[in-house]
Amino acid sequence: MAMTTGSSGGAMGDINVTPMIDILLVLLIIFMVIVPVTPKGLDALVPQPPKSPQQQQQNDRTIVVQVNYRPGAAPTYKINETDVAKTDLLPRLTEIYANRAERVMFVRGDDDLNFAYIAEVIDIAHSANVDHIGLMTPKIMAGQ
């Protein structure tokens, strides 16, 4: 703290702000380093079409559960085009994913279907220890 003598004869104290500015700059640098720079978004899994016949064979590992709408009745379920009863979904998915390292599944539902049926399939898949679940949507045609 600097001391000056004024014309009134008494001692007057002024605060030296240089150390405070140094502390402020150090804190500013610390907060800039702590705050993450990259934005966090939603991770989405999208199935890709195979580019070669060899990839077509590897694509057989992709599991797609379809929920088909039937007016006035309970929906039907399919695992890769194989009909499955709703009560058999959990045992069948558990069996499929028992020896897999990659636990990815896609769910496709009809347009007129209530989303609650899709949510039930997602819950069943979580019970079967599926790590990543993607939702498949219909292709949007150009000009519609």
pTM reported for the whole predicted model = 0.56
pLDDT of residue 74: 85
Of the listed ranges 41-45, 93-97, 121-125, 133-137, the least confidently predicted one is 41-45
Q: What's the CATH fold of domain 53-136?
A: Nucleotidyltransferase; domain 5 (3.30.420)
Q: Is the pLDDT of residue 103 over 80?
A: yes
pLDDT category at 62 given cuts 50, 70, 90 is confident
Cβ count within 10 A of residue 93: 23
The secondary element (H helix, E strand) that includes residue 31 is: helix 18-34
pLDDT category at 38 given cuts 50, 70, 90 is low
Alpha-carbon gap, residue 13 to 29, rounded angstroms: 31
Alpha-carbon gap, residue 106 to 111, rounded angstroms: 16
Exposed / middle / buried, residue 137 (Cβ in 10 Å: 0-12, 13-18, 19+): exposed
